[in-house]
Amino acid sequence: MCGIVGVASGGSRRPSIGADVLARLRDAMTHRGPDGSGLLFAGGVGLGHRRLAVIDRSSAGDQPMVTRDGRHALVYNGELYNDAELRKALADAGVRFRSTSDAETLLESLALWGEGVLERLRGMFAFAWHDRVRRRLVLVRDGFGNKPLYWWMGATPGGIELVFASEVGAILHHPHVPVRPDWGGVSAYLSTIRTSLDGHTMFEGVRAVRAGECLTFDLSSDELPSRSRTVPPSGPARADIGDVLSESVRRHMRADVPVCSMLSGGLDSTIIAFEARGLGPLHTYAAGTPSSDPGDDLACAQAVAEELKLRHTSVEVSREVFVERWREMIERLGVPLSTPNEVAINEVARRMRRDGFVVALSGEGADELFAGYDRPLTAARAALQGAERLSPELFAEMELAHNAWTPPGLKESLLHERVWRGLEGDARLHESLRRSFEASMEACGGEALRGEDAAVRVMLEYQRRVNLAGLLGRLDTSTMLESIEGRTPFADACVLSSARALPTERLIAWRTEGALTKVALRDAYEGRIPSIALRRAKASFPLPFTEWLDPLGAVVQESCLLRELFKHEAIEAVAGAPGASWRLAWPMINLALWGERWWGGPKEQRPVVMPGVAKIRSS
């Protein structure tokens, strides 16, 4: 796991920044790679890398990595879980290796097979590949969106320039990248609490490489034209869910550093801990706030750890720690938090690193692949029951009505009229959701879909594409701030194929009241894992954060950014009782802290909305 960064110019031009400035952009992500750093300038391309050494910790694994002939260069962040199979195929083709690093496996695969190898990769990754002969730069992100990658392209004193990095903050360290809010992205955050959606971020001009996207830039032209294609995750399915998960956990355990696991006491993390403990001694960690509730995360995790005979550590999060970490994470990352759980994940990652661990397994992906969210799925089933025809527009409307943190009608009443007018009634948000559901429908069979079963399958595909990508981003940023690599055995191509092959009734069973979720997982591990994990109801937030919001009302009142967006009445209502209106207070406080982070200085540095529509609209 690492941090990557780079700049590129087209034609015969060189980037507007030199090695010294690129090194500063790179080192803004030192937490992503404390074990080493590298820099390479070749023609119009500069590549930078911060290394967290997990596989082959020797200098042979250092990056940027270049082929022997100097043609291909790579900066890579991630892990390949089919590294052994790819290496064998490469060796059979005559490739001679200089290391045991999977970065070299990827580099030689790209050199030999080109972009065609992307469909063969099983892993989590984001990388940049420079082919000096064909004069192209390729940015790629894995099909689940495990690893982040952002880019900006715009005018600099030397002409059009491309800047990319693992974190938005590193891009914004470039002296010619303007730091301005993207108001469409801000509005999308209010509704979805996602800091990027459909390739857009909360900063004007800064884009996210989408999950599964392969972006190719032509370096022979001054304009750096690009083309995009999507490589969805794919792998062979297995009928036995226990077998495919056992195999996935085994592959995710490969490391030359100590590996531990997160454990909440719920079904997903318990399955991972159960499978991992069969491969050797396992240390597990849980974060939460002590309470008298025997069903909270700390109590359940402890009970599961004792039954499975695991070494276990509980990490307590107090209100003071929560507020301190919340502010600190926004300051360091430069973006708002998506969920309060990020603070808990970050705090437990701190303890893991202090205890000597470098890799941590986590349970993200089980809910999206095996139908763990009963309320959204039940709502979709009910809302679309009897619909004459399922359409992306219908799904998008239902998603906003049932799952938005700030529903459309409420948002319009809260924002200044000029702001809402400039956002064109949230047109970009609606279009982003429509496109996501259109792609989800295509993956499930297209517009010929009918009935409640089809509605549930489309919602599951949407949750994998959008919700899971957000959760994986949350895990990455929260753990990598402490130099911990998070790995997610459920978010695996073969596990996905196996889950997709199951009939809907093996995923969710409808009942008179509520529904039984993740049926296949419960059946596969019945009698194998502690019953407390099998029977425990899903808990969305392990921290009593709604009780901790009230002291932050002043942050809402004092925010220049919020005053530009929200009506006075809305600010006063939320500031007066944040805990009571937590679904609105959470994104508003995050936006206030984010605004303070970037534009809280002199008045001339603050984002200007007042002049009207032109400043609010985003590309």
pLDDT of residue 410: 93
Q: 542 pLDDT band (50/70/90 cuts)? A: confident
SS3 at position 516: strand
Whether the per-residue pLDDT at 399 is higher than 70: the answer is yes
pLDDT of residue 448: 59
The more confidently predicted of residues 515 and 361 is 361
Q: 614 pLDDT band (50/70/90 cuts)? A: very low
Count of residues in the chain: 619
pLDDT of residue 619: 36
Per-residue pLDDT of 158-179, as tens digits, reads 899 999 999 999 999 999 999 9
Cβ atoms of residues 263 and 273 within 8 Å: yes
146 vs 142: CA distance, rounded Å? 7
Within 13 Å of residue 419, how many CA atoms lie on the same side as its CB?
Answer: 21
Whether the per-residue pLDDT at 408 is higher than 90: the answer is no
Task: List, as one string, the DSSP characters of 383-409.
Answer: HTTT-SS--HHHHHHHHHHHH-SS-HH
139 vs 123: CA distance, rounded Å? 16
346 vs 39: CA distance, rounded Å? 29
SS3 at position 221: coil
Whether the per-residue pLDDT at 99 is higher than 90: the answer is yes
Distances in Å between the alpha carbon of 419 and those of 94, 106, 569? 61, 46, 15
Count Cβ neighbours within 10 Å for each residue of 417-443 and write b for 16 or more, e otherwise.
ebbbebbeebebbbebbbebbbbbbeb
* 274 CB-near residues (< 8 Å, 6+ apart): 308, 525, 528, 529
Least confident range from 63-77, 157-171, 444-458, 550-564: namely 444-458
Quick one: which of 117, 146, 142 has its CA closest to 232? 142
- The whole-angstrom distance between residue 312's C-alpha and the CA centroid of its chain comes to 27
Whether the per-residue pLDDT at 303 is higher than 60: the answer is yes
pLDDT of residue 613: 33
Q: 39 pLDDT band (50/70/90 cuts)? A: very high
The arithmetic mean of pLDDT across residues 513-539, rounded, is 92
Domains of the chain: 2-230 (3.60.20.10), 241-370+467-535 (3.40.50.620), 549-616 (no CATH)
Q: 390 pLDDT band (50/70/90 cuts)? A: confident
Mean pLDDT of the chain: 93
Q: Give the count of beta carbons closer than 10 Å to the beta carbon of residue 283.
A: 20
Q: Which residue has the tokens 């941090």?
A: 3
202 vs 336: CA distance, rounded Å? 9
Of all residues in the chain, the percent with pLDDT exceeding 70 is 95
The arithmetic mean of pLDDT across residues 564-579, rounded, is 95
Quick one: which of 123, 572, 30, 352 has its CA closest to 109? 123
The arithmetic mean of pLDDT across residues 342-371, rounded, is 97
Largest CA distance in the chain: 70
Of all residues in the chain, the percent with pLDDT exceeding 90 is 86
The more confidently predicted of residues 448 and 513 is 513
pLDDT of residue 612: 36
Count Cβ neighbours within 10 Å for each residue of 560-572 and write b for 16 or more, e otherwise.
ebbbbbbeeebbe
Our CA dihedral for 580, 583, 584, 587, rounded to 10 degrees, sits at 130
Per-residue pLDDT of 202-257, as tens digits, reads 999 999 999 999 999 999 999 999 999 999 999 999 999 999 999 999 999 999 99
Whether the per-residue pLDDT at 602 is higher than 50: the answer is no
pLDDT of residue 618: 37
The arithmetic mean of pLDDT across residues 379-402, rounded, is 86
127 vs 117: CA distance, rounded Å? 14
Whether the per-residue pLDDT at 468 is higher than 90: the answer is yes
Question: What are the tokens at 328?
Answer: 């600190």
Cβ neighbourhood burial of 23 (10 Å; 0-12, 13-18, 19+): middle
pLDDT of residue 25: 98
Whether the per-residue pLDDT at 439 is higher than 50: the answer is yes
The arithmetic mean of pLDDT across residues 21-45, rounded, is 96
Whether the per-residue pLDDT at 62 is higher than 50: the answer is yes
pLDDT of residue 318: 95
pTM of the model: 0.95
Q: 84 pLDDT band (50/70/90 cuts)? A: very high
